[in-house]
C-alpha cells in the first residue's frame, strides 16, 4: 500500500485589485443612503469596519452569527437583519441606494433591498460573489486589506442625513426595548430576564444561545461589546444547541464566564449533558426560560394562519434536576428571586441552572411585521374564533402597530 506523505498547506490571500477598490470607493462617495451588511467574514477586521462606518458616515447592520462584532452601543449600529432583527435595520435596507456586503453570503434575500440598487461585495471567497444579490463591484480580497485601502483614501464625508435619520429611528427602537425590559410582572417577562443577565455579565462573557424564543430575547436585549462572543445555530436553526455550545466554550476558554440561554423545549432535548458539565467541573450559568410550551413554534403557526397544535410541554422541576446531577439549581418566579439567583450563580464554582418561569404569552414578534405575516395572524384569529369560540390572546395593540406601521 502506498505511503502517504504528510503535507502542510497555507491559505494564499488573493491579490487585491486596486481598480476594483477604486470603483467601490467611487460608489461610496456618490451614494446618498449607503448601508453596510457585515457577516463573520469581516470579524477579523472589526476595527477597520467601524473606522469605515465613521469615516463615511454609513449605518452598520450585521448578520446574526456576527452579533458582537460591532458593539451594540455604537451610534452607527442598527442591529441585525432578518425576522428577529430590528425594525430600523429592515427599514434602512429598504431605503438604501447602495448595499455594501462585507464577508457575508446572507441567505434571507427577502430582507435585502426589494428593488435593485448598486451593490459592492467584498469577500475572500470568489464563489460567494453575486450569489444572493447581484453585485456591481466584486472585490475578492482579504477584508482587512480592502477596508484599510478605503479608510486611508483622501475622501471626507460629513453630515450624511441618512445616517442621522437611521440613528433617530434606532433611538426610538431602543426606547421600545427599554419599556419591555422594565416590566416587573409575574410571570416574568423574558425581556426583563435579559436585562438582569446583563447586570452580572463580564465584558468578555461568552453567550451560547439556543434556537427558539431564547434566540429572539437574547439577540434583542443582550447588549454586547466586541469582546463578547455570541454562539448560536443561526442558519440551521438547531434546537438544543445552547448547553453543548456552553460546554465547548468552557473547554476552549476555561477562564471566561460562560452563560447559556435556553428554553425548556431546547434544554429538554440535551439535558443529560448537564451531567457532562458537572463531571468535567465546568462552572457555567444556564438560564432556562420555562414557559411549558414550544413558544416559537406557537407563533410560527399563528403567523402561517394555522391553529396551534402539539406545542405543550410538561412542567419539569429543572432546578431539582440540576441538583440531582451534582450542580446547583434555582427556581425563579419573580424579578427579586432572579436578581438573587444570578448573583449567587455568578460566584458558584459548579454548573448552575436557573429555572426561570416566564410569561408564555410574551410574543417574539418580528422586528418588522410584513403584510404576509399580518394576514397569517388575522387568519389564525379567525379560525380560533370559529373553531374554539374565543378570541386568542395577542400582544398589546400598541406593540403590534409599532412593528407593523
Assigned CATH topology for domain 18-168: Rossmann fold (3.40.50)
- Range 235-248 burial, b when 16+ CB lie within 10 A, else e: eeeebbbbbbbbbe
Residue-level pLDDT at 295: 83
Between CA 218 and CA 216 the distance in angstroms is 6
Q: What is the pTM of this model?
A: 0.88
Question: What are the residues whose beta carbons fall under 8 Å from the beta carbon of 387, sequence distance 6 or more?
Answer: 307
Question: What are the residues whose beta carbons fall under 8 Å from the beta carbon of 172, sequence distance 6 or more?
Answer: 88
Between CA 129 and CA 120 the distance in angstroms is 10
End-to-end CA distance of the chain: 70
Between CA 243 and CA 251 the distance in angstroms is 12
CA 77 to chain CA mean position, Å:
13
Establish whether the linkage from the previous residue to 187 is cis, with ω within 30° of 0.
Answer: yes
In degrees and rounded to multiples of 5, residue 229 shows phi and psi of -120, 140
Between CA 231 and CA 240 the distance in angstroms is 12
390: left (phi over 0), alpha (psi -120 to 50) or beta: beta
Q: DSSP of 286-351, one letter per residue? A: EEEEE-SB-HHHHHHHHHTTPPP-S-B-----HHHHHHHTTSEEEEE-SHHHHHHHHHHHHH-SS-
Q: What angle do CA 170, 403, 163 make, to 5 degrees?
A: 25
Per-residue pLDDT of the chain (405 residues; tens, 9 = 90+): 677 778 787 777 889 999 999 999 999 999 999 999 999 999 999 999 999 999 999 999 999 999 999 999 999 999 999 989 999 999 999 999 999 999 999 999 999 999 999 999 999 999 999 999 999 999 999 999 999 999 999 988 888 999 999 999 999 999 999 999 999 889 999 999 999 999 999 999 999 999 999 999 999 999 999 899 999 998 888 999 999 999 999 999 999 999 999 999 999 999 999 999 999 999 999 999 999 998 877 877 877 788 888 989 999 999 999 999 999 999 999 999 999 999 999 999 999 999 999 999 887 776 776 657 656 656 656 665 566 666 566 565 556 666 665
Residue in the structure block whose three cell numbers are 458537572: 278
Nearest to 292, CA basis, from 238, 356, 376: 356
Between CA 272 and CA 199 the distance in angstroms is 29
In degrees and rounded to multiples of 5, residue 297 shows phi and psi of -65, -40
Nearest to 271, CA basis, from 233, 327, 216, 311: 327
Same topology, domains 18-168 and 182-357? Answer is yes
**Hey, what CATH class is 182-357 in?**
alpha beta
Between CA 380 and CA 367 the distance in angstroms is 20
Question: What is the torsion angle, in degrees rounded to the nearest 10, for the CA atoms of residue 96, residue 98, residue 103 and residue 106?
Answer: 50
H helical segments located in 138-241: 143-151, 161-181, 190-200, 213-221
Would you list the domain boundaries of the chain?
A: 18-168, 182-357
Amino acid at each position: 500500500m502506498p505511503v502517504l506523505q504528510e503535507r502542510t498547506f497555507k491559505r494564499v490571500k488573493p491579490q487585491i485589485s486596486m481598480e476594483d477598490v477604486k470603483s467601490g470607493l467611487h460608489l461610496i462617495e456618490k451614494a446618498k443612503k449607503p448601508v453596510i451588511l457585515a457577516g463573520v467574514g469581516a470579524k477579523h477586521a472589526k476595527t477597520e469596519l467601524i473606522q469605515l462606518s465613521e469615516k463615511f458616515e454609513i449605518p452598520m447592520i450585521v448578520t446574526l452569527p456576527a452579533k458582537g462584532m460591532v458593539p451594540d452601543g455604537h451610534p452607527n449600529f442598527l442591529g441585525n437583519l432578518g425576522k428577529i432583527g430590528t425594525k430600523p435595520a429592515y427599514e434602512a435596507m429598504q431605503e438604501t441606494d447602495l448595499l455594501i456586503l462585507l464577508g457575508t453570503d446572507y441567505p434571507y434575500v427577502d430582507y435585502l433591498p426589494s428593488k435593485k440598487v448598486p451593490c459592492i461585495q467584498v469577500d475572500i471567497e470568489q464563489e460567494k460573489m453575486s450569489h444572493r444579490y447581484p453585485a456591481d463591484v466584486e472585490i475578492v480580497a482579504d477584508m482587512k486589506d480592502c477596508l484599510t485601502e478605503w479608510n486611508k483614501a483622501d475622501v471626507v464625508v460629513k453630515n450624511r442625513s441618512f445616517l442621522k435619520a437611521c440613528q433617530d429611528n434606532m433611538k426610538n427602537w431602543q426606547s421600545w426595548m427599554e419599556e419591555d425590559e422594565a416590566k416587573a410582572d409575574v410571570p416574568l417577562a423574558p425581556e426583563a430576564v435579559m436585562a438582569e443577565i446583563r447586570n452580572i455579565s463580564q465584558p468578555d462573557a461568552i453567550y451560547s444561545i439556543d434556537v427558539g424564543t431564547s434566540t429572539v430575547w437574547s439577540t434583542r436585549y443582550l447588549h454586547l461589546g466586541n469582546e463578547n462572543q455570541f454562539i448560536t445555530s443561526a442558519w440551521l436553526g438547531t434546537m438544543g444547541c445552547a448547553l453543548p455550545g456552553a460546554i465547548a466554550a468552557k473547554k476552549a476558554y476555561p477562564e471566561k464566564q460562560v452563560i447559556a440561554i435556553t428554553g425548556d423545549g431546547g434544554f429538554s432535548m440535551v439535558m443529560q449533558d448537564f451531567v457532562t458539565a458537572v463531571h468535567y467541573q465546568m462552572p457555567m450559568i444556564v438560564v432556562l426560560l420555562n414557559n411549558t410550551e414550544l413558544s416559537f413554534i406557537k407563533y410560527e403557526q399563528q403567523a402561517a394562519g394555522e391553529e396551534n397544535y402539539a406545542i405543550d410541554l410538561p412542567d419539569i422541576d429543572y432546578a431539582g434536576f440540576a441538583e440531582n446531577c451534582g450542580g446547583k439549581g434555582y427556581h425563579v418566579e419573580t424579578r427579586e428571586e432572579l436578581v438573587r439567583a444570578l448573583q449567587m450563580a455568578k460566584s458558584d464554582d459548579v454548573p448552575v441552572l436557573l429555572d426561570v418561569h416566564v410569561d408564555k404569552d410574551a410574543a417574539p414578534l418580528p422586528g418588522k411585521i410584513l403584510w404576509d405575516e399580518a394576514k397569517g395572524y388575522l387568519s389564525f384569529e379567525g379560525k380560533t374564533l370559529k373553531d374554539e369560540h374565543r378570541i386568542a390572546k395577542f400582544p398589546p395593540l400598541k406593540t403590534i402597530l409599532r412593528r407593523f406601521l
